[in-house]
Structures are given as structure tokens and as C-alpha cells.
Amino acid sequence: MSNNKHQKIGWKTAAAIVIANMIGTGVFTSLGFQIADIKNTWSIILLWFIGGILGLIGAFTYAELGTKFKESGGDYIFLSRIFHPFAGYLYAWISLTVGFSAPIAISALAMTSYLSPINPNIFTDWFGIGVIILVTAIHSVSVGQSGKFQSYATILKLAFVFVLIGLGFYFIPVENTALNFTSTWKEELYLPGFAVSLIYVSYAYTGWNSAAYITDEIEDPDKNLPKALIPATLLVMVVYILLQIVFLRHASVDQLANNVEVATISFSNVFGESGSFWISIFIGLQLVATISGYLWVGSRISYAMAKENPLWKSIAVKNENGIPVRALWLQGFIAILLTLTGTFEQVLLYASFALQLMGTLTVASLLWLKRTEGTYHSPGRPWLQYIYILFSFWVLGFMLKEQPYESMIGIGFVVVGGITYFLQGKRI
């Protein structure tokens, strides 16, 4: 076996994973669903600000949990060690079936949607499936290769996003702009649509905890895990708010409402069809980094679960370079299945509900953990965690009311996971 000491990654690569997992489809697609109900620009900025603050609280929390339990596996490790193996198993099940597989599938679906104007016969769902297979193969070699690929893909992603923001503020906004800075935002805060819109925002921020899933692949995690999680989350929050203003600046409410390709719509008003054509290509291409990040970290949760649960023991296998190849390819296979079933919005909503539910449990777990010397300590503990939990339950409650079908699918995944836990017999 090769020496895994040389396969560790630094905080910059770990931060690249966080950024790549966060900046995916959500920021380029969810505004269309939000503006169908929420018209005021201040309301939309507030949505993305709240999402960012919740993500930052989560990053503080996971930084402390990750430096306490220096094992890869994230929530599976945290919940299993603090509460009970059953709680960790449920999270790992959700991660494997929808939590990480769904963002991969959604990214593949969005990629083909953005690239299809080039050639609709080539850029079909099967193209997205091919990308998933290719990226899975790249991650099957070594941590070093995964780190290089992830870093380069994330640099390209950030370069594109910053260029997009710069162009968006440089050009004059359209006449019938969706920007609306009136006082109506105060009334919109009480609308059910505001709470449901937070689900879309929460999905867009999914990934702020990514580096915590690969703790034992990070050099000096006590120092580098917080350095990866917290600045990356702050950067993404600023980027998200600026992007929403840019999209609103260059399109009308009618153009954006209930449409997925909000970036293409906005920039077609600036550059015409030829300009939006290139914007679509780059949005599609930058999603490779997102697919890559979720494949990398998701497989580590599945591997951590497989080591301790007999039902999944067959995937608890690493190659000579320490890559959990079977868990990695299983993650890719499930993502492919999700790519072929369900609509974009449905997959997004039920995956978001399940992830929000289980992620809230992980944030709450910190309240049961005693502070120890030598680990990162979350600022504002426990009050920041209480704020996160209250907001989360508020959002989940509104989603149950407004989107009961998708919410019940999310709950259904949790229930099925619980059944498989008890059917498998004695744990390892």
C-alpha cells in the first residue's frame, strides 16, 4: 500500500471542494422559482443573506465537530459517536440515496440543459451520465489526482463567476428590470413563498460542510479544516448575493418567473443570442467541479457507514492509494439513476427536505458535545446553533404545508433507511 501521508491535501484544496460543492446549479437556477412568489429585491437579498448566515453557523459547527472526531465520514461519524449509530446510519443512507447523489444528478441535468443549444442531439441526459462516469473514473486513482482535478476545476468555476458578476454590473440594466427596492419586502416576509424559497436557497448553499467529510485526508485538520470551511462559506455568500442582483438587473419578472435558466435569460438581454450562447456553455462546464466535489465527499460517508454496517460491508473496500472505489462507483451509479428519473424541481425539493432535516440534527448534536482542548471552538455556542435549528424547523414546517408531496418523498427516504438498518441485523 502506498504511503497515504503523501496523499493529504492542504486547506486551499479543501476550500476548493467547499466552493465547488456550494456553487453549483442552485445559484444559477433557483431565482426563477423564488421570484414567482417573492418580487422585491430586498426580500431576495435577505433570502440569500439568511441562507449564508445559516451556512456560516453550520461551518462553525462542523469545524468544531470535525476537529473533535478526526475521521472521514462527516455527519455519519458525528451522529454515530454523539447520539447513536442509528442516527449516523440514517444520514449516510440519505447521503447515498439522495443527499449527494441528487446534487450530482441535478448538476448533470442542468449541464445538459445549458449545453443543449449547441447540439440538442449530443447534449442529452446521456451526455450528463457520461460526465458522471468520467469524473468518477478520475477520482478512482488517488487523493493527489482528485485534489489536482478539483483545484483546477474550481479555479475555472470561480474565474467564470467573477467575470459574470463584473459584466453584470458593467452593462446598463434593461428597461423593464426585475429590480424592485420598494418597501413591499416587509409584507413578503410573512408569505409562505418566502419560507419555501428558503428551501431553494438552502439547497444552493448545500456543500458548506464538504471538507468535514474528508477530515483524515486533510493535513493538520485542527488548523486547516476551519480555514477551509469558514472563509469559503463567506466568499460564496458574497458571490451569491451579487449574482442574484446581476440576474435581476438584466431581466424582467415575467422573463425569470418559473424558469430554470435564469442566467442565460438575463445575459441574452445584454449580449443577444450569441452572447447568451457562450454564457450557457460556461455555466454548463463549471458544473463539472460540482459533480466532482460531491462524488469525492459523498463516497467517504458511504465508506464510513459500510465499515460498520453488514448490509453495506461489500463496498467498504479501498484501492492501494486509499480510495474507497466501490463506494465511489455506487455513488455515481445512484446519481445516474436519479438523472434518468424525476424532474429537476422534484429532485431538488425532496433532496433538500431530507438534507435539511438530517443536517439540523447534526448541528443540534454539538449541544451534546463537551468542549475539549486542542480543537476548534464554535463562536456563539450554543446560541448560534439554536438560531440555526429554529430557522430550519420553520422552513421545514412551511415546506410540509406548501410542498407536501415532495416533503413526504423526503421523509419516505428517511423511513426506508430506518427499515434497512433494522433489517440488516447486528452491526459490525
- For 352-390, write each residue's pLDDT tens digit: 788 888 889 999 999 998 887 667 899 999 999 999 999
Mean pLDDT value across residues 171-199? 81
65 within 8 A of 365, measured Cβ to Cβ: yes
197 within 8 A of 37, measured Cβ to Cβ: yes
Residue 44 lies in a domain: yes
Residue 428 lies in a domain: no
User: Which CATH number do you get for residue 28?
Assistant: 1.20.1740.10
**C-alpha span between 144 and 342 (Å, rounded):** 35
**C-alpha span between 345 and 259 (Å, rounded):** 11
Residue 174 lies in a domain: yes
Which range has the worst mean pLDDT, 155-169, 293-307, 339-353?
339-353
The region, left, alpha or beta by phi > 0 then psi within -120 to 50, assigned to residue 84 is beta
Instruction: Provide the pLDDT for residue 189.
Output: 81
Structure confidence by residue, pLDDT tens digits, 228-273: 999 999 999 999 999 999 999 999 988 898 887 788 888 888 888 7
Higher pLDDT, residue 184 or 156: 156
DSSP state of 40: -
Mean pLDDT value across residues 109-137? 88
Going by pLDDT thresholds of 50, 70 and 90, the confidence category of residue 20 is confident
Instruction: Provide the pLDDT for residue 370.
Output: 85
Q: Which of 157, 146, 92 is nearest to 325 (CA)?
A: 146
Give the chain's mean pLDDT.
Answer: 86
Q: What angle do CA 215, 17, 228 make, to 5 degrees?
A: 60
Going by pLDDT thresholds of 50, 70 and 90, the confidence category of residue 3 is very low
Residue 101 lies in a domain: yes
Higher pLDDT, residue 208 or 24: 208
Could you tell me which residues are beta bridge partners of residue 197?
none
Going by pLDDT thresholds of 50, 70 and 90, the confidence category of residue 427 is low
Torsion sign across C-alpha atoms 24, 259, 388, 298: negative
323 within 8 A of 141, measured Cβ to Cβ: yes
Higher pLDDT, residue 99 or 254: 254
Higher pLDDT, residue 406 or 425: 406
Instruction: Provide the pLDDT for residue 83.
Output: 93
Residue 252 lies in a domain: yes
Mean pLDDT value across residues 137-146? 92
Grid cell 439554536 in the structure block, residue? 386
Q: Give the orientation angle of helix 404-423 with respect to helix 383-402, to 10 degrees.
A: 110
Q: What angle do CA 340, 345, 348 make, to 5 degrees?
A: 85
Mean pLDDT value across residues 205-219? 85
Instruction: Provide the pLDDT for residue 4.
Output: 45
**C-alpha span between 226 and 217 (Å, rounded):** 14
Tell me the CA distances in angstroms from 370 to 104, 270, 375, 382, 400, one per residue in order: 35, 54, 11, 12, 34
Neighbours of 228 (CB within 10 A): 30
Range of the domain at 79: 4-423
404-411: long-range pairs with CB below 8 Å, 24+: 406/346, 406/349, 406/350, 406/353, 407/349, 407/350, 407/353, 409/346, 409/350, 409/353, 410/98, 410/349, 410/350, 410/351, 410/352, 410/353, 410/354, 410/357, 411/353, 411/354, 411/357
120-129: long-range pairs with CB below 8 Å, 24+: 123/284, 125/339, 125/340, 128/339, 129/336, 129/339, 129/340
**C-alpha span between 347 and 157 (Å, rounded):** 24
What is the count of structural domains for the chain?
A: 1
Neighbours of 349 (CB within 10 A): 24
Tell me the CA distances in angstroms from 34 to 184, 191, 218, 404, one per residue in order: 15, 12, 37, 18
Residue 51 lies in a domain: yes
pTM of the shown model: 0.83
